[in-house]
């Protein structure tokens, strides 16, 4: 067997790349709708929904720690709204185990589902989608994997610890195979290969099932069902031009002519209907494009497309140009382009709800343009702040928050702005008000910790940091933060008791989980 330097391989690559190949092993076991019979307790005998969630949380801990995790609230919120639209169309939701959608900053075309209803998208897939229905088609397919209990159906009879061992073994194989495919196969052959391979053999069956359930979901949500087949067909056609043979999405989601034909037949039965993309879809894609490559080159690309009118949506293209200018620290030019963007909004007949807007006054919005306007207002405030126009920036933040009181990007930015201007108490009061509506938000806890640090309250600072770590799944570090908090002298008995109680609770939970293993 070839000897492998796995540590070097891991350092060279993202430590969670293996997830895109082991998707068939890692689908949450919840069920929506009545597309398939409920498999009952037999399928859950080995791995419970709670255990799946724990696995997902631990994987997400690694993902969030990686530099490729796209920690952008606007992109995440857009994916979440799109996903919730599809989930609602499925007829049922599960508030006890909600979906979480997130993005990875990677130009390759891929998407994946994890245990516990976590669903990730490469930024390359988002920009590769030619319309919103294509993106929704991929998302519906991934959601269907989760709702159809594919993990439970494949691993029935496998112990929880045995599953973890299989996943770890396959992860090593795939990490190695990225630099040496033959080496990866060698590791795989010794890592419970027969059991793992028998599970992987179910992949195509599950893919067809996810197509069917996802297709129905797409139709019920009001998207163009042709989006699913058109995306798969284009990926399959493009595979002949890829250096490594095929896009990564096809490697983890094998597409056959039979599958494409089946989706196309279903689409023909429904007839053609034109579905308009949301402006937010185009803004998110423009934002991703603005974040890639050399800033100067990206600016020139946006300018060239605007000059030649080679764009789908002018508002989104100008929005992307401003994002690129901010990234290049060309703040004055960004401010000039901001005025051009608003003139484009005024002249766009499809953006009626954005008309008559003046910087620093609340935008009046309805329907689909609500989130689009929030993205534009957030960008405008950032431009003003970057140019040192602090009063204008604060007026923009405050007026925008009247229209979008709990829009996360605005909330984070406004709190940051207050902290930068040494008004920590105002920032803390604002965040405390927001926390009543934005629950279990890691960044809210981190901002709270910054406020308490600025105000000199070390006990509450470390308590807030502990709460953020708990939600990241890092309980050991959370315990350390609570212990640090208790070392600081504090006269408030209630706050001290609260930290002590929280420390006991986390320690008891960790001890109980250890006993189960």
> What SS3 state is found at 11?
helix
Name the least confident of 22-36, 224-238, 470-484.
22-36
Distances in Å between the Cα of 102 and the Cα atoms of 69, 221, 266, 363 are: 8, 20, 30, 28
Residue 59: what pLDDT?
A: 75
Strands 100-104 and 111-114: unpaired
Residue 450: what pLDDT?
A: 98
**pLDDT value at 345 more than 90:** no
8 Å CB contact between 29 and 47: yes
**pLDDT value at 123 more than 50:** yes
**pLDDT value at 4 more than 80:** no
**Closest by alpha carbon to 282, among 497, 94, 129, 390?**
129
Quick one: how far is CA 491 from the chain centroid?
42
8 Å CB contact between 277 and 262: no
Residue 166: what pLDDT?
A: 52
Cα–Cα dist 345/373, whole Å: 10
Which residues fall within 8 angstroms of residue 514, CB to CB, at 6 or more apart?
Answer: none
Greatest mean pLDDT range, 184-193, 232-241, 339-348: 339-348
* Phi–psi pair at 102, nearest 5 degrees: -150, 170
**pLDDT value at 7 more than 60:** no
Percentage with pLDDT > 90 across the chain: 45
Q: Considering the candidates 211, 277, 317, 337, report the single residue annotated as catalytic.
A: 211
Region 186-195: what's the mean pLDDT? 44
Would you list the DSSP string of 277-317? PPHHHHHHHHHHHHTSS-HHHHHHHHHHHHHHT--S-HHHH
**pLDDT value at 465 more than 80:** yes
pLDDT band at 18; cut points 50, 70, 90: very low
Cα–Cα dist 72/63, whole Å: 14
Q: 500: which 2 tokens? A: 């002590």
Residue 311: what pLDDT?
A: 92
* Phi–psi pair at 106, nearest 5 degrees: -150, 130
8 Å CB contact between 32 and 9: no
**pLDDT value at 363 more than 90:** no
pLDDT band at 517; cut points 50, 70, 90: low
Mean pLDDT value across the chain: 78
Please indicate whether residue 148 or residue 7 has the higher confidence score (pLDDT).
Answer: 148
**Closest by alpha carbon to 90, among 211, 217, 223?**
217
Torsion angle, CA of 457/458/461/466, rounded to 10 degrees?
-150
Residue 126: what pLDDT?
A: 96
Percentage with pLDDT > 70 across the chain: 71
Which residues fall within 8 angstroms of residue 40, CB to CB, at 6 or more apart?
Answer: none
Place of tokens 């519906």: 140
263-306 residue pLDDT tens: 888 888 887 777 889 999 999 999 999 999 999 999 999 999 99
Cα–Cα dist 259/215, whole Å: 12
To the query of whether residue 211 is one of the catalytic residues in this protein, the response is: yes
Name the least confident of 154-168, 180-194, 281-295.
180-194
Please indicate whether residue 276 or residue 174 has the higher confidence score (pLDDT).
Answer: 276
Residue 424: what pLDDT?
A: 97
**pLDDT value at 3 more than 60:** no
Instruction: Give, for 502, the enclosing helix (H) or strand (E).
Output: helix 493-516
Please indicate whether residue 217 or residue 174 has the higher confidence score (pLDDT).
Answer: 217
207-244 residue pLDDT tens: 888 889 998 999 999 999 888 888 888 877 766 555 55
69-98 residue pLDDT tens: 899 999 999 999 999 999 998 886 776 678
Name the least confident of 13-27, 107-121, 192-206.
13-27
Distances in Å between the Cα of 441 and the Cα atoms of 45, 322, 381, 408, 412 are: 33, 28, 23, 10, 11
To the query of whether residue 132 is one of the catalytic residues in this protein, the response is: no
- What is the CB neighbour count within 10 angstroms for residue 370? 15
Cα–Cα dist 75/53, whole Å: 23
Q: Considering the candidates 52, 142, 207, 392, report the single residue annotated as catalytic.
A: 142
Greatest mean pLDDT range, 39-48, 128-137, 161-170: 128-137
Greatest mean pLDDT range, 10-24, 182-196, 336-350: 336-350
**pLDDT value at 181 more than 80:** no
**pLDDT value at 258 more than 90:** no
**Closest by alpha carbon to 513, among 136, 160, 27?**
160
pLDDT band at 262; cut points 50, 70, 90: confident
Residue 260: what pLDDT?
A: 79
pLDDT band at 501; cut points 50, 70, 90: very high
**pLDDT value at 398 more than 80:** yes
């Amino acid at each position: 067997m070839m000897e492998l330097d796995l540590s070097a391989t891991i350092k060279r690559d993202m430590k969670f790349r293996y997830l895109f190949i082991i998707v068939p092993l890692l689908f949450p076991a919840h069920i929506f709708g009545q597309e398939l019979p409920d498999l009952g307790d037999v399928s859950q005998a080995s791995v419970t929904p709670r255990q799946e969630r724990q696995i997902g949380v631990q994987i997400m801990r690694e993902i969030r720690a990686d530099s490729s995790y796209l920690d952008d609230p606007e992109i995440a919120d857009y994916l979440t709204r799109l996903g919730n639209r599809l989930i609602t169309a499925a007829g049922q939701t599960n508030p006890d185990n909600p979906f979480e959608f997130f993005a990875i900053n990677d130009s390759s075309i891929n998407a994946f589902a994890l245990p516990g209803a976590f669903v990730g998208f490469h930024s390359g897939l988002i920009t590769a989608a030619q319309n919103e229905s294509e993106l929704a088609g991929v998302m519906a397919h991934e959601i269907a994997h989760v709702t159809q209990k594919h993990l439970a159906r494949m691993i029935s009879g496998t112990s929880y610890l045995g599953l973890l061992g299989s996943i770890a073994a396959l992860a090593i194989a795939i990490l190695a195979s990225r630099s040496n495919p033959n080496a990866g196969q060698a590791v795989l052959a010794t890592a419970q290969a027969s059991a793992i391979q028998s599970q992987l053999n179910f992949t195509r069956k599950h893919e067809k099932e996810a197509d069917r359930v996802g297709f129905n979901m797409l139709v019920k949500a009001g998207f163009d069902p042709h989006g699913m087949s058109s995306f798969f067909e284009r990926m399959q056609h493009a595979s002949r031009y890829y250096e490594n043979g095929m896009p990564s999405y096809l490697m983890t989601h094998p597409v056959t002519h039979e599958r494409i034909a089946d989706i196309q037949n279903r689409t023909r039965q429904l007839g053609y209907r034109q579905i308009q993309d949301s402006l937010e879809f185009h803004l998110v894609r423009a934002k991703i494009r603005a974040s890639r490559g050399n800033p100067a080159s990206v600016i020139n690309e946006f300018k060239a497309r605007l000059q030649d009118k080679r764009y789908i949506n002018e508002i989104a293209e100008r929005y992307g140009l401003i994002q690129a200018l901010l990234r290049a620290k060309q703040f004055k030019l960004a401010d000039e382009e901001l005025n051009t963007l608003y003139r484009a909004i005024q002249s766009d007949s499809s953006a009626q709800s954005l008309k008559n807007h003046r910087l620093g006054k609340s935008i009046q919005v309805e329907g689909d343009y609500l989130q689009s306007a929030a993205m534009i207002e957030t960008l405008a405030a950032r431009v003003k702040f970057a140019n040192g126009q602090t009063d204008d920036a604060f007026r923009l933040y405050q007026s925008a928050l009247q229209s979008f009181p709990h829009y996360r990007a605005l909330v984070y930015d406004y709190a940051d702005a207050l902290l930068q201007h040494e008004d920590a108490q105002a920032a803390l009061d604002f965040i405390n008000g927001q926390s009543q509506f934005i629950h279990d938000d890691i960044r809210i806890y981190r901002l709270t910790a910054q406020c308490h640090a600025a105000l000199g309250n070390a006990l509450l600072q470390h308590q807030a940091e502990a709460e953020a770590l708990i939600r990241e799944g890092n309980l050991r570090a959370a315990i350390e933060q609570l212990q640090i908090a208790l070392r600081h002298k504090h006269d408030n008995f209630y706050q001290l008791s609260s930290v002590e109680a929280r420390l006991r609770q986390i320690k008891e939970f960790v001890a109980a989980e250890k006993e189960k293993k």
